[in-house]
Amino acid sequence: MEPEEDIARDIARDVDRRVDRSVDRRVAQDIARGIAQVEGHLLWSAEMADIRRQAVRFTAQLPWLTSAQRADVERVYVTDRAAVSRAILLRVRERALALRGEYGERYARLRARCVAWTVAAVGATIGLLAAVTLLAR
């Protein structure tokens, strides 16, 4: 077999591996996004169920309400609490995104500092070993 064929085959194999990895990465990202959406839906459904339970508990404390009035109060209560919950969740999301950015920057600075200290330590060690070697001659 010719060396050019070996090189071409190796390049093709490497490209295939990279394409497979990028496809796997995209699939993994799609799966993670889907899981996050399902989790968000389940969390919001649980929040709404809790709000509805609280509305029923609230109207139970008002025994003089008629059935129609009770239904109206529950509807208003649920609507109001859902709006409050949504606003809180949006604020939490914004803060989480801000924190992600802050901590990402801090991590990058810390990583750069650690690399710099490691390079300095390795350089000092090599210099020390070179000096000891020269003095030992």
Domain positions in the chain are: 3-109
Q: What is the pLDDT of residue 10?
A: 66
Residue pLDDT, tens place only, 32-41? 788 888 888 8
How many CB atoms are located within 10 Å of the residue 50 CB? 12
Whether pLDDT at 87 is above 80: yes
Residue pLDDT, tens place only, 114-125? 999 999 999 999
Report the b/e string of 27-45 with b at 16+ CB within 10 A. eeeeeeeeeeeeeeeeeee
Of the pLDDT bands very low, low, confident and very high (cuts 50, 70, 90), residue 28 is: confident
Nearest to 25 by CA among 33, 35, 36, 37: 33
Q: Please, which contacts does 53-60 make with residues 24 or more away whose CB atoms are closer than 8 Å?
A: 54/81, 55/81
Looking up tokens 């801090």 gives 106
Q: What is the pLDDT of residue 7?
A: 62
Whether pLDDT at 24 is above 80: no
